[in-house]
């Protein structure tokens, strides 16, 4: 005999809070104050089924990992589970739930009118479709960026300040897109970079990215904060390609947890460790915060206590779940990482020449990713392209370019963007949001098509540029004279344009 729904329904308060997740009951009363996302969201589901809210933001092994076994109350009686579902249908819904149901309907309607995947001709097309068909909160989380989103826009603008110097009359009958990254042969010079919370966009989450990447023999970087578990993602790889997978790491304050994550990934065959170094605290993404505050219906005033820190759950999906990240991480920690793994170590989120040089000179790291985290961390952090153009000559002059591999991410949407970065010395480029949008709208097939489109563009552009293989790309093929001078100004400051009154000149006296 399993537990009855009636029994569970009796535990619907802060004093005794039970919830159902995937047909099993859990006593989360004592866990309430520890929940990184705050207690309010759990209390909303106290005494009932929380699966629909739980699934998109938690890997399936979360409860096993973080909730003491004594709080696992067991399976619900099968007939009762059906009764729970039935009761859910007839329960009087709160205004918030009504709004959610209306949104679900609107999403279903938009999806019914969604153009077929074949009508997407480039990566930005997926973005336009995703914006129309994603749930508002999910779109806000994926698309948001820091403060005034100047770095977000600069990431695109920087590519527009670099022009090609194409070579003609080269025999370009055969083009080879393949290259090596961190010792592995891959089919193309781009990889799927790590992004959190894949199930916000698609029920299958990050495994959609894994499947498409393995079809294309493209590398996937697996995020610490995926909504699928690490093993689910590793296991989703299919097909003959067997491309490398890398691990992106947010360093936990508890280094034992961090060590376990790294060593498990190494054992499972991950081939590199990317340590995120640009996020000691998550940036202010106001679009995400506004969407979350509205969804909670509390206008953003709900402050929770978490491990002695206050976590304002209205602060958006990302901030709510990032309290475990160690802000004390520093250069002195690098030897420890080197001691716990044999994997190549890459620092992800390096933003200035001096730090690239320092990383190379430690002799402890194998690479860097120049990145401003998709414009989501420090606003006015420079575009990776601008840092790349500045750093490569310095590395070459000091003979350090052979010690580390340099990667970039942020704002790449076209093969021409990829080629500009490779000409300037990048070994490869990370692409994040565009694949998330392709996944959110069309699942695996969307990501598959996005990758095919990029490869087609790459082949054509290399031909037109006069480069037959990746190693024929070099600085002589680009004109970067405008890159550092921002002649097109900084990208527009939207908020101030809306908030500031237009300037006035002195008015004439009225008659």
To the query of whether residue 288 is one of the catalytic residues in this protein, the response is: no
User: Considering only CA atoms, which of 419, 481, 483 is closest in space to residue 166?
Assistant: 419
Nearest of 410, 409, 415 to residue 451 by alpha carbon: 415
Q: Which is nearer to ligand 173, 143 or 217 (CB)?
A: 143
Residue 300: count other Cβ atoms within 10 Å of its Cβ.
16
User: What is the rounded CA–CA span in Å between residue 410 and residue 163?
Assistant: 18
Closer Cβ to ligand 173, 275 or 473, answer by number: 275
Long-range contacts at 84-93 (CB < 8 A, ≥ 24 apart): 84/5, 84/20, 84/48, 84/49, 85/49, 87/5, 88/48, 88/49
Catalytic residue among 80, 125, 148, 278: 278
Element (DSSP H or E) covering residue 459 = helix 433-465
Q: How far is the CB of 169 from ligand 173 (least distance, A)?
A: 45
Cα separation of 219 and 210, whole Å? Answer: 9
Cβ proximity to ligand 173, 207 vs 276, nearer residue: 276
Residue 383 gets which letter from DSSP?
P
Catalytic residue at 278?
yes
Pairing of strands 184-186, 405-409: unpaired
Q: Note the residues at the interface with ligand 173 (CB under 6 A).
A: 196, 225, 279, 282, 318, 321-322, 373, 376
Closest C-alpha to 385, from 371, 373, 374, 396? 371
Instruction: Tell me whether residue 49 or residue 148 sits nearer to ligand 173 (CB atom).
Output: 148
Between helix 136-143 and helix 286-296 the angle, nearest 10°, is: 160
Classify residue 113 by its DSSP letter.
T
How crowded is residue 274: how many other Cβ atoms within 10 Å of its Cβ? Answer: 29
CA dist 419 and 413 (Å) reads 11
In the block, residue with structure tokens 């709004």: 99
Please list, in sequence order, all residues whose beta carbon lies within 8 angstroms of the beta carbon of residue 326, skipping any fewer than 6 positions away.
251, 252, 253, 280
Whole-number Å distance between alpha carbons of 19 and 17: 7
Rounded to the nearest whole angstrom, what is the least distance from the CB of residue 390 to ligand 173 in the complex?
25
Query: In the block, which residue shows the tokens 């894994």?
Result: 210
Residue 373 annotated to the active site: yes
Best CA proximity match to 401, nearest among 367, 370, 362: 367
* Spatial distance between the Cα atoms of 468 and 464, rounded to a whole number of angstroms: 10
Give the distance from CA 39 to its chain's centroid: 25
Q: Which residues contact 498 (CB under 8 A, 6 or more apart)?
A: none
Q: Which of 26, 141, 142, 250 is catalytic?
A: 250
Looking at the annotation, which residues are catalytic?
250, 278, 373
């Amino acid at each position: 005999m399993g537990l009855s729904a009636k029994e569970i329904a009796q535990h619907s308060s802060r004093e005794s809070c039970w919830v159902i997740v995937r047909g099993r009951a859990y006593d989360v009363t004592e866990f309430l104050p520890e929940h990184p996302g705050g207690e309010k969201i759990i209390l909303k589901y106290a005494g009932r089924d929380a699966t629909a809210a739980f699934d998109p933001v938690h890997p399936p092994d979360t409860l096993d990992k973080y909730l003491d076994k004594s709080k696992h109350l067991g399976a619900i009686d099968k007939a009762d589970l059906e009764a729970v579902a039935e009761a859910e249908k007839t329960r009087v819904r709160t205004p918030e739930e009504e709004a959610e149901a209306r949104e679900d309907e609107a999403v279903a309607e938009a999806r019914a009118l969604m153009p077929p995947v074949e009508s997407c001709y480039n990566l930005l097309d997926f973005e336009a479709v995703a914006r129309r068909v994603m749930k508002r909160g999910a779109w806000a989380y994926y698309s948001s960026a820091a403060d005034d989103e100047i770095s977000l826009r600069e990431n695109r603008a920087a590519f527009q300040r670099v022009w090609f110097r194409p070579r003609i009359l080269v025999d370009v009958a055969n083009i080879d897109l393949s290259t090596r990254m961190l010792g592995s042969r891959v089919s193309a010079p781009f990889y799927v970079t790590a992004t959190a919370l894949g199930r916000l966009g698609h029920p299958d989450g990050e495994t959609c990215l894994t499947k498409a990447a393995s079809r294309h023999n493209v590398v996937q970087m697996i995020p610490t904060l995926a909504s699928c578990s690490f093993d689910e993602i590793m296991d989703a790889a299919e097909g003959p390609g067997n491309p490398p997978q890398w691990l992106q790491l947010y360093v936990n304050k508890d280094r034992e947890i961090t060590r376990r994550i790294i060593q498990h990934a190494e054992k499972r065959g991950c081939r590199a460790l990317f340590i995120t170094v640009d996020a000691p605290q998550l940036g202010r993404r106001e679009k995400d915060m506004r969407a979350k505050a509205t969804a909670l219906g509390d206008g953003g005033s709900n402050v929770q206590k978490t491990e002695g820190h206050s976590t304002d759950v209205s602060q958006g999906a990302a901030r709510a779940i990032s309290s475990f990240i160690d802000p004390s991480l520093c250069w002195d920690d690098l030897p420890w990482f080197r001691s716990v793994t044999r994997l190549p170590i890459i620092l992800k989120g390096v933003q200035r020449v001096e730090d690239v040089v320092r990383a190379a000179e430690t002799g402890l790291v194998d690479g860097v990713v120049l990145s401003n985290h998709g414009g989501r961390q420090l606003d006015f952090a420079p575009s990776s392209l601008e840092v790349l153009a500045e750093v490569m000559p310095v590395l070459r002059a000091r003979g350090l370019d052979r010690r580390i591999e340099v990667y970039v991410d942020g704002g790449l949407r076209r093969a021409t963007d990829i080629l500009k970065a490779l000409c300037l010395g990048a070994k490869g480029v990370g692409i994040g949001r565009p694949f998330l949008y392709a996944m959110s709208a069309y699942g695996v097939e969307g990501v598959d098509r996005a990758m095919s489109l990029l490869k087609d563009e790459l082949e054509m552009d290399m031909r037109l540029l006069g480069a037959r293989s990746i190693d024929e790309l070099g600085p002589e093929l680009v004109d970067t004279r405008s890159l550092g001078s921002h002649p097109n100004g900084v990208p527009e400051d939207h908020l101030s344009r809306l908030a500031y009154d237009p300037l006035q000149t002195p008015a004439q006296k009225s008659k």
